[in-house]
Amino acid sequence: METQTFMLLAEVTVLPEHLAEITALAKATLIPTLREPGCEIFVQTAKQDDPNTLIFFEVFSSEAANQLHLDAPYTQAFFAGVQGKLAQKPTMTLLHHL
């Protein structure tokens, strides 16, 4: 049975007064995430015209690999750290290959 690649585009709009803190939390997850088994792509960006909106593009070899990422302590620390500091609920878009 072939495993299906898990791809996600996440858009997170941070309250301006918390941007530096949230950016630091995000950066702290980058290297550990890239070292995870099953992590194929993990890119952290911000919109050029709206630096308070962070865009994460994530590709994992499977949904199980993504779940391991979600359960990782540094990912959980990021989720806890953004509580009450976002301008709106994050937008999560699941993607698939054409």
Over the stretch 36-56, which tens digit does the pLDDT of each residue have?
A: 999 999 999 999 999 999 999
Domain boundaries, the chain: 6-95
Q: Domain 6-95 falls in which CATH fold?
A: Alpha-Beta Plaits (3.30.70)
By C-alpha distance, which of 44, 32, 41, 35 is closest to 77?
Answer: 32
In terms of C-beta distances under 8 Å and separation of at least 24 residues, what long-range contacts does 79-85 make, across chains too? Answer: 81/21, 81/22, 81/25, 82/12, 82/14, 82/22, 82/25, 85/14, 85/15, 85/18, 85/21, 85/22
pLDDT higher than 90, residue 88? yes
- With tokens 């308070």, the residue in question is 52
Question: What pLDDT was estimated at residue 64?
Answer: 97
Half-sphere exposure (Cβ direction) of 20: Cα atoms closer than 13 Å: 1
58-76: pLDDT as tens digits? 999 999 999 999 999 999 9
Mean pLDDT of 4-17: 97
